[in-house]
Structure 1
């Protein structure tokens, strides 16, 4: 993504911890507002004083070494997606920093706290629950119109402007239908926050905006009753229970709740997306005008279904696939996906340069091509892996930085926009298997990779490139190391 001129120097070391008063890419760090497990939040200002009265917030990933790779990828998602968003329901994007120096995102600072503290006051009056829900649903409708599914709607990711407008924050798990889904491409486990994940997210579907409606239903249930509808599961097995175990009706917990509110909540929490509200705008309308809510059997329900119905749902969920949704990949299928498999820590500079030039020529001839640059960090099959170097720096991040350095000449020459150039560091015990699996899972059309010089050992054991050529379902171009002399 960087357009900085290429360099032949080694990748930059990870930066030292940030301190108040430090200046970073034209921003002065004024005060650290929050230190979380995944990121630090800083109040910052422009050195040149051009803030125009807008308070600024800088989000910086915490890179300690040994962190979950999904944290790193999620921050890249946020860096890629936030510049695409606009309007009052999202923080205004200001700037972002490159991983080769210091990764960060600077955005408008929304004053006040998130919605999270209100959970401690639950149950809330029905009118307040409806008001909060209507404002959040309005924000979701605006987000969905921008082709984005948030996929992590929860109270801690919701803020309010002074005029009451809901603002959705934290896009690390989000999906933009016109940009690559880095999380889906690199990971095969459900992504989200356990209590709020929709059934289709549990089944690995990340492209349905009705998933956000389900999450909002979970939040409305909690604010109305003081309890979570599905508890707080911490395993995939626990998450899958929501495919067949329905929540206790809210009015069974709090009888004074009006039937219209239970109708709305249970309508949001239907297992099948086609039985939920079909848009956040429809949901917002019902929450604003409860007198017009059409009451069904949901509104009068006071107990969960019997054992036989639950068994039937369990049997159906056991082997069921999610209902067909127009997949985001159909948008991308109109253009080829080119995968560059790069050995950033092995091979020779000459081979990497030759690979870079070959990839540049291929992508240049495919005007709609998407380029995915992939490196594999080899890990042990058994035992404990070293996730940091002797200086305590994250090996995953170092490979990511090296991969971006390698791709800089391509990015500069072709001026590839966000979404057409992405980076992936895989962790696997077998490099060849990881490359083939990545290509298959993501519908890669063309793999371009290097092959180091022949040796008796390679002829006997087989090479990575030979395995990829033999096992891949797509075209494979193997680039040989330039001959000496």
Structure 2
């Protein structure tokens, strides 16, 4: 590899970085107008064999990835001639350059972690687990999106796992490695959430939760020993942030967030985080608990082979858009039936109830209603009341009152920002203006990046609700509502 040499149409430029497992070169190509990097593995005599296997994994995985959270791949070369991967060169520095600024302000660290969680959600949806989340593996685009790099230790659910097949010892960065990785588990996406929890703990306290040890013996302690709660290190540590961090660092993967999207949701809405004893803890777990874990009375449970896509599908974020005004009872009841059917089959799903307070374009909107009550608070209370029959446990329900001129656009923006998987909303029947111009439900159904269910109440329920029954006194049972349309 010399500057000026040409390989498969790529012209070699300067050497950008020499790492322990690969070398990075700037390259150009006449048909590609974006900055490029060529990654070349170190395969000379005496190099670590894992470097070759790791590079093979990256060669297989990176070309299959897409989206703003990964560098675009423009070509690969095999080992017979010259092994390489050519990828998009992301401008700027990795998050590693920020270590000298630790501990960070809580809000800044929350924003950074939220973007990383969103990037992980996008990666996991493509059946890939990164397995090396750390500051030097994270960059940011000019638009603010986090970009994950270095996929040499990654696992793809649909490809052979060469690291698992050829090596017994776990490979990764010791301070960030999840406990189950020490037991050979590489197919659980919640391992990445543990690593992100380590990063967030480190960035907000300035101390790594498990120290700097690199020995396998030292790493195994995290199978039974939890870290000091951040509030032990910093008295002003916000309880909601400790709740998030310690949930990510749970020894059992099942006790962590079920998906990166749900973690990103809490980081985006800290005021909605449900506090448990975890968020207020000052001490580590008692020694009795530690000993039970140590002697396998409560240690990490045996792992059954998991499917990344199936796990994500079982833990969606479901947004329900509701109208809390008068005359919406029948429609909201129909929506409740549909939402209940969805939630009954998804025990890890998260429900976000949304109401949009429509603002006027020209006149000044009043904060209080005719009774002098705050409109925003009233709607939050109404949403809580609507969701009460579901009896969801702490952490599975949030309520949101939005203010917007265009309700459809507000629902779409909420879904995009919060990585919503499924939107459920209602549509009324009899409106000539809505039929001609298209209503909120039509806009959401046509533009949403996720599944949308549009619900209408039965005609009988609408008549009972609006008083158009022709003088007949319908009982409650006769006015039962059922979902009528799904898109």
Same fold (TM over 0.5): yes
From 269, 272, 290, the counterpart of 2:270? 290
2:403 is aligned to none
User: Equivalents in 2 of 1:231, 1:123: separation in Å?
Assistant: 15
Contact 1:119/1:222, CA 8 A, preserved across alignment: no
Where 1:57 maps in the other structure, the secondary structure is strand
2:87 is aligned with 1:104: no
Which segments of 5 or more consecutive residues in structure 1 lack a partner in the other structure? 1-17, 331-485
State the 1:255 CA deviation. Answer: 1.3
The Cα offsets for residues 41-69 of structure 1, whole Å up to 9 and x where unpaired, read as 111101xx2113x1101101122211111
Contact 2:127/2:158, CA 8 A, preserved across alignment: yes
1:29 is aligned to 12
The Cα offsets for residues 341-363 of structure 1, whole Å up to 9 and x where unpaired, read as xxxxxxxxxxxxxxxxxxxxxxx
Contact 2:23/2:40, CA 8 A, preserved across alignment: yes
User: Equivalents in 1 of 2:235, 2:302: separation in Å?
Assistant: 34
Q: CA-atom RMSD, angstroms?
A: 1.6
2:238 is aligned with 1:246: no
From 31, 34, 38, the counterpart of 1:50? 31
User: Equivalents in 2 of 1:203, 1:315: separation in Å?
Assistant: 15
User: Equivalents in 2 of 1:317, 1:197: separation in Å?
Assistant: 23
State the 1:22 CA deviation. Answer: 1.5
Contact 1:151/1:192, CA 8 A, preserved across alignment: yes
- C-alpha spacing 1:58/1:285, structure 2 compared with 1 (3 Å): same
Where 2:32 maps in the other structure, the secondary structure is coil
State the 1:322 CA deviation. Answer: 3.2
From 40, 49, 52, the counterpart of 2:23? 40
1:71 is aligned to 51
From 109, 123, 131, the counterpart of 1:143? 123
1:260 is aligned to 240
User: Equivalents in 1 of 2:301, 2:274: separation in Å?
Assistant: 30
User: Equivalents in 2 of 1:309, 1:21: separation in Å?
Assistant: 62
Count of equivalent residues: 309
Which segments of 5 or more consecutive residues in structure 2 lack a partner in the other structure? 311-487
User: Equivalents in 1 of 2:307, 2:127: separation in Å?
Assistant: 13
- C-alpha spacing 1:167/1:320, structure 2 compared with 1 (3 Å): closer
Contact 1:203/1:322, CA 8 A, preserved across alignment: no
State the 1:313 CA deviation. Answer: 1.8
User: Equivalents in 1 of 2:183, 2:19: separation in Å?
Assistant: 29
User: Equivalents in 1 of 2:298, 2:2: separation in Å?
Assistant: 52
- C-alpha spacing 1:319/1:138, structure 2 compared with 1 (3 Å): closer
**Which TM-score applies when normalising by structure 1?**
0.62
User: Equivalents in 1 of 2:301, 2:169: separation in Å?
Assistant: 16
Where 1:286 maps in the other structure, the secondary structure is helix
State the 1:326 CA deviation. Answer: 2.0
Where 1:230 maps in the other structure, the secondary structure is coil
Greater alpha carbon shift after TM alignment, 19-28 vs 162-171: 19-28
Where 2:295 maps in the other structure, the secondary structure is helix
1:129 is aligned to 109
Contact 2:201/2:208, CA 8 A, preserved across alignment: yes
Contact 2:292/2:298, CA 8 A, preserved across alignment: no
The higher radius of gyration belongs to 2
State the 1:231 CA deviation. Answer: 1.1
**Which TM-score applies when normalising by structure 2?**
0.62
From 177, 186, 192, the counterpart of 1:206? 186
State the 1:309 CA deviation. Answer: 2.1
- C-alpha spacing 1:220/1:319, structure 2 compared with 1 (3 Å): closer
Alignment of 1:280-319 (within 5 A): 280-316=260-296
The Cα offsets for residues 138-176 of structure 1, whole Å up to 9 and x where unpaired, read as 000000000001111111000100111000001101000
